[in-house]
Amino acid sequence: MTVLSVPVPGVCVRVKLNIGGCGPYAHIVADFEPPGPDGGLELLNAVPGERLPAEYLPALRAGLLEGLGGVMAAVLLTDGSFHEVDSCARGYEIAGHQAGRAALIGAGLLPREEASTLRWATWPGRPRPRHRPPQQPGRSNAVGHGGG
């Protein structure tokens, strides 16, 4: 059994999909810790129900399980929010998945390059994306152009 060996605090995920004017919205902030003696996924919620309704917790848990990929962890929800119209279970499932993957990267259990696949997640120490250098005047970035 693989366990999260180091804490990864402050994982923040804000899912905002705009599909035809509205779409899934979810927002969570979580601290990931090594699991307790029972192992498994332990999900603790310190967010008041008016900020994060309990109805979204099963979907969030399912997303965390998928995102952690069998790695055991204790997860403390420290903040979150919802939108009365746009929040749905699928949004929190996505948020949980991204939070779990972010925790694995933060703990060194996934390569740092994987961070580029996490569209909505941030965490302390997140690798910054590598950008291509700006094109110099008079030079082409094209590859394979003909020449003599």
The arithmetic mean of pLDDT across residues 93-111, rounded, is 96
Per-residue pLDDT reduced to its tens digit, 72-83? 999 999 999 999
Per-residue pLDDT reduced to its tens digit, 41-88? 999 999 999 999 999 999 999 999 999 999 999 999 999 999 988 889
Per-residue pLDDT reduced to its tens digit, 111-132? 999 999 999 999 998 887 665 5
Burial class (CB in 10 A: 0-12, 13-18, 19+), 129: exposed
* 121 closest CA partner among 12, 26, 33: 12
pTM: 0.83
